[in-house]
Amino acid sequence: MHEPLSEPGVVPAAQREVVVRVSEVVKHFQHGRRQLRALDRVSFELREGRFLVIVGPSGCGKTTLLRILAGLEHQDSGEVWMRPSRDGHPPFAMVFQEQSVFPWMTVRDNVAYGLKLRRVRGREVEERAGHWIRKVGLAGFERAYPHQLSGGMKQRVSIARAFAVDPDVLLMDEPFSALDEQMRTILQQEVSTLCEEQQKTVIFVTHSIDEAITLGDEVLVMTHRPGQVKRLIPIPFPRPRDVVEVRADPRYGELYEEIWGLIAEEVRRGPRED
Amino acid sequence: MAERGATLHRTAAQRARWLPRAGAKTEAVVQILSPVALLVLWEIAARIGWVDQRFFPAPSAIVRAFWEAVTTGVLLHHLKITLWRVILGTLIGGVPAVLIGLAMGLWRWLRLTLDPIIAATYPLPKSALFPLLLLIFGLGEGSKVSMVAIGVFYLAVTNAMEGVLAISPVYFDVAKTFGAKRWDVIRTVALPGAMPLVLAGLRLGVGTGLILGVLAEMLGARDGLGYLLWSAWQTFSVSSLWATLFVTAILGFASVQLVDFLRKLLVPWQRTGARR
């Protein structure tokens, strides 16, 4: 397998511990009288600190897969395993696609949300929430309510809220799809840097091939419904990355073409009915 | 060509000539002046006999009647009684309504059980219940207070339920992914999320409760603003009828203001501009 260049002193990716394991996951949806197969025997493994991006045609079940990982939906068969956290809390945090910042809480209370649920002490809640608010560039907006913020700022709150509980795994469901191009690029860079710095294991769902290549260590391309793993493509760019520089790399074009070819094939074929 | 284009879309300055926008101060003056102007016109019309003084006594006569009722303490006495009935009725009707409504929003089975009962009894004009209430509670406070309570209850219960149902599912998902337990979800998502509609329901409910309360006082009471209105009609003292109407209007206005104040307190996160 094509591994990214590893720096001295860093454990090569292949030797790191497996944090997420998905095996033979099948999921059906009831659509009127018919049963539609959304996911068909999906399997993959993810090692610690790796950034996996899942791409595929619309309706391929990539969001469903992520929701199963988050425990928001349940597979019909197959296994989903995530390394438990030491404190018994969920070992992951999720960043959602749509507006998911609580409108009734200030920026500070939103970021502190997970910490309070974990019964973290008051002083520590303040410190950690404050730290992450500054980290995502929202210092001075602690007492603001979400309706006073722009779309990009709200998504920063959502990102800070997820990082604040220091999860082993971050699940991200098209977190930038509602943002404009410029804001998307800026936040892609910030998330890339933060995940690298905090050594997070990430599963990131998107429909953007560009985003997949820019952010991922590995790109998992899914087939049209029922969603299966079509191919797992390693991305050779070292990290930390500059998301703009990466796009200028000649290999970027080749990867784009390769992934586009795979997805286009699926889009043209359309869903297979079972 | 160019000239035609210019007439199609006027410039901002040209447009401003047709729809002049005065400063905020001037606009406020206009808003105060228009009711004053109406009162002045009314006074003149009444004095020179354009309107029938028997039905529309001059504002000065109403003020005199109002002042008399205030100084003798009559108005205040009846106002206090109605106010007490509205407050008591709102508490008796509103508190259980909000609790039941929230619970119905949260638990599907409770909703399925209670919704048909509420839906079936809601269209019944509440005023039609008054004879029955008189039968049950007699002429005492019970019949009037329960009338207010019924008016508040229906609007508060349906709005509280809708308040929970209107919360976007993504907020419940967020809570679950952070490991929220059942009670955490209720405390951090369902209650605050439903609050805007809960208060909207109370606002409407208090208005309806007041209407029904005054109506009940007209039909079966020996005190309260409704009674005062009715006796003014029976004695044909039109000025005091108008004075009482005025006080009733103020009571309605004040109670809505009170709920709005409560809303600012409980829902500080709502867009302030959204109050139009």
Please tell me the least confidently modeled range out of A103-117, B84-98, B113-127. B113-127
State the distance between the two ends of chain A, measured CA to CA, in whole angstroms.
34
CA–CA distance, B36 with B75 (Å, rounded to integer): 24
- Average pLDDT score, chain A: 91
Question: Quick count: other Cβ atoms within 10 Å of Cβ B261?
Answer: 10
Tell me whether strands A34-47 and A77-82 are parallel, antiparallel or unpaired. unpaired
Q: How far is A24 from chain B (nearest CA, A)?
A: 23
Q: Which helix (H) or strand (E) holds A20?
A: strand A18-31
| Contact flag A117-B174 (C-beta cutoff 8 Å) | no
Q: Looking at the predicted structure, is the pLDDT value of residue A157 above 90?
A: yes
Mind listing the pLDDT tens digit for each residue in A199-248? 999 999 999 999 999 999 999 999 998 899 999 999 999 989 999 999 99
φ, ψ of residue A40 to 5 degrees: the values are -130, 105
- pLDDT of the residue at A87: 82
Whether B167 and chain A come into contact, CB under 8 Å, resolves to no
Mean pLDDT, residues A153-176 taken together: 95
A183 exposure class (CB count in 10 Å sphere: 0-12, 13-18, 19+): middle
State the distance between the two ends of chain B, measured CA to CA, in whole angstroms.
42
What would you report as the CA-atom Rg of chain A, rounded to the nearest whole angstrom? 19
Best CA proximity match to B204, nearest among B256, B267, B127, B141: B256
Place of tokens 């309360």: B213
- pLDDT of the residue at B195: 95
- pLDDT of the residue at B274: 44
Task: Tell me which of B269, B270, B272, B275 to substitute to probe the interface with A (most A C-beta atoms closer than 10 Å).
Answer: B269
Mind listing the pLDDT tens digit for each residue in B103-131? 999 999 999 999 999 999 988 898 899 99
Boundaries of every domain in chain B? 12-51, 62-275
A87 vs A223, which has greater pLDDT? A223
CA–CA distance, B241 with B232 (Å, rounded to integer): 5
- The answer to whether B100 and B156 have CB atoms below 8 angstroms apart is no
A123 exposure class (CB count in 10 Å sphere: 0-12, 13-18, 19+): exposed
3-class secondary-structure state, position A101: coil
| Contact flag B170-A103 (C-beta cutoff 8 Å) | no
Q: How far is B198 from chain A (nearest CA, A)?
A: 14
Considering only residues 117 to 176 of chain A, which have any Cβ-Cβ distance to chain B shorter than 8 Å? 117-118, 145-147, 165, 171
Mean pLDDT, residues A90-103 taken together: 92
Q: How far is A187 from chain B (nearest CA, A)?
A: 21
* Residues on chain A touching B275 (C-beta within 8 angstroms): none
Considering only residues 233 to 272 of chain B, which have any Cβ-Cβ distance to chain A shorter than 8 Å? 267-271
Q: How far is A104 from chain B (nearest CA, A)?
A: 5
| Contact flag B177-A146 (C-beta cutoff 8 Å) | no
- pLDDT of the residue at A1: 44
Q: Looking at the predicted structure, is the pLDDT value of residue A262 above 90?
A: yes
For residue A106, the chain B residue with the least C-alpha distance is B269
- pLDDT of the residue at A12: 65
Whether A23 and chain B come into contact, CB under 8 Å, resolves to no
A157 vs B58, which has greater pLDDT? A157
| Contact flag A99-B170 (C-beta cutoff 8 Å) | yes
For residue A99, the chain B residue with the least C-alpha distance is B170
For residue B195, the chain A residue with the least C-alpha distance is A104
For residue A112, the chain B residue with the least C-alpha distance is B178
| Contact flag B177-A145 (C-beta cutoff 8 Å) | no
- Report the predicted TM-score, pTM, of the whole model to 2 decimal places: 0.84
Residue A267, sorted as left (phi over 0), alpha (psi -120 to 50) or beta, turns out to be alpha
| Contact flag A93-B180 (C-beta cutoff 8 Å) | no
Confidence of residue A82 (pLDDT cuts 50, 70, 90): very high
Class of domain A16-83+168-269 as given by CATH: alpha beta
Whether A84 and chain B come into contact, CB under 8 Å, resolves to no
- pLDDT of the residue at B22: 66
If you count residue pairs, one on A and one on B, with CB atoms under 8 Å apart, how many are there?
Answer: 62
Mind listing the pLDDT tens digit for each residue in B146-165? 999 999 999 999 999 999 99
Could you give the percent of chain A with pLDDT greater than 70?
A: 94
Mean pLDDT, residues A135-141 taken together: 94
Confidence of residue B138 (pLDDT cuts 50, 70, 90): confident
- A100 closest CB neighbour out of B170, B267, B271: B170
Task: Tell me which of A102, A107, A115 to substitute to probe the interface with B (most B C-beta atoms closer than 10 Å).
Answer: A102
Q: Select from 1.20.1440.230, 1.20.1260.10, 3.40.50.720, 1.10.3720.10 the CATH code of B62-275.
A: 1.10.3720.10
Handedness of CA A227, A14, A51, A263 (dihedral sign): negative
- pLDDT of the residue at B170: 96
CA–CA distance, B228 with B233 (Å, rounded to integer): 9
Whether A103 and chain B come into contact, CB under 8 Å, resolves to yes
Q: Looking at the predicted structure, is the pLDDT value of residue B50 above 90?
A: no
For residue B191, the chain A residue with the least C-alpha distance is A104
HSE (CB half, 13 Å, CA atoms) of A219? Answer: 26
Q: How far is B17 from chain A (nearest CA, A)?
A: 34
Whether A100 and chain B come into contact, CB under 8 Å, resolves to yes
- The answer to whether A96 and A158 have CB atoms below 8 angstroms apart is yes
Q: How far is A175 from chain B (nearest CA, A)?
A: 13
φ, ψ of residue B90 to 5 degrees: the values are -65, -40
φ, ψ of residue B267 to 5 degrees: the values are -125, 65
- pLDDT of the residue at B59: 87
- pLDDT of the residue at B20: 61
Mean pLDDT, residues B172-176 taken together: 96
Residue B167, sorted as left (phi over 0), alpha (psi -120 to 50) or beta, turns out to be beta
Mean pLDDT, residues A139-161 taken together: 94
Best CA proximity match to A196, nearest among A38, A49, A68, A83: A49
Summary count for chain A: helices (H), strands (E): 8, 9
Could you give the percent of chain A with pLDDT greater than 90?
A: 78
Mean pLDDT, residues A45-49 taken together: 94
- pLDDT of the residue at B276: 38
Question: Quick count: other Cβ atoms within 10 Å of Cβ B76?
Answer: 13
Q: Looking at the predicted structure, is the pLDDT value of residue B42 above 60?
A: yes
φ, ψ of residue B269 to 5 degrees: the values are -90, -5
Q: Looking at the predicted structure, is the pLDDT value of residue B275 above 50?
A: no
B13 exposure class (CB count in 10 Å sphere: 0-12, 13-18, 19+): exposed
Place of tokens 């520590």: A124
φ, ψ of residue A171 to 5 degrees: the values are -105, 125
- pLDDT of the residue at B116: 94
- pLDDT of the residue at B272: 57
What residues contact B86, with CB distance under 8 A and at least 6 apart? B148, B206, B209, B210, B213, B251, B255
- pLDDT of the residue at B26: 81
- pLDDT of the residue at B83: 94
- Average pLDDT score, chain B: 88
Q: How far is B181 from chain A (nearest CA, A)?
A: 9
- pLDDT of the residue at A77: 95
Q: Looking at the predicted structure, is the pLDDT value of residue B179 above 60?
A: yes
For residue B184, the chain A residue with the least C-alpha distance is A117
Mind listing the pLDDT tens digit for each residue in B190-236? 999 999 999 999 999 999 999 999 999 999 888 999 999 999 889 88
For residue B192, the chain A residue with the least C-alpha distance is A104
- pLDDT of the residue at B143: 93
Boundaries of every domain in chain A? 16-83+168-269, 101-167
